[in-house]
Structure 1
Amino acid sequence: MSLHVHNITVDCADARGLATFWAGLLGWNVYYDDDPEVVVAPSFPPSVTGMLFIPVPEGKSAKNRLHLDLQPDDMTRDEAVERAVASGATVIGDHRHEDGSGWVTLADPEGNEFCIERGEAESGPRAPRAFRIGS
């Protein structure tokens, strides 16, 4: 028996507004009806893991325990960071190094952290790592 990740769920104050930010950043579409929940995915029904935005009354109060690491497909890391900032993100940590490695930590308009790394075009393909689970 196996499971798959259907959605990454984000609690937020403004589901449509935050979904619109993420859809623009990822190049995905926003899907909603009369329900307050909003889905962001490349297609509907989603063929890959989507993002689900759910309005909640309380605000964000601490650092995320889970965040997204994004890699650009058709631009550089630095171009992707500039695009994210122009869309409403805020840089909260710059971990770029002189040799070009590293990443940038940002926050979306409601303060949820995410990182933008170099994509394969900049860093080259990564060798897969094998992990052994169990004894």
Structure 2
Amino acid sequence: MQNPFGNGDNGDNNEGPNGIPVPPNYATVVKEGNGDIRIGKVGFSYTTFLFSFLVPIFRGDWYNFLCMIGVNLGIVLGLYSIHFSSMQTFSTVTSVLQFVLSFVWGYLYNLMYFRHLFNRGFKPATQRSKDLLTKSGYLKTKKD
């Protein structure tokens, strides 16, 4: 199949289902035994930045969904324990904090997603995916 991404791979990234090419910053992992395939982006998650909790819900990633809810709930409860002089100050602090949290989740979610998949028995499907995951720090290397 022709590579629609034009990154000069000459079809070397045809690791999707039925040989479909994947973008250069996406990795494919497969679960040994049942052959379940997951394809995910490596790097900043714009969808998590914009839609926060909806991303793990749509991916069926309940573990990371509960982690995100727990952290956000802890921060919100901590914020409510602080006495602010006015409601406007509280609203401003809340808005800034929500933006910062969205930015942090955008950076961390894909890493959390892949690490959870690895804990569930998934392995990189190809050498290209393994190299990409290792280079980005998503896949821990074993020291000899």
TM-score (normalised: structure 1): 0.29
Structure in which a larger fraction of residues adopt helix: 2
Structure in which a larger fraction of residues adopt strand: 1
TM-score (normalised: structure 2): 0.27
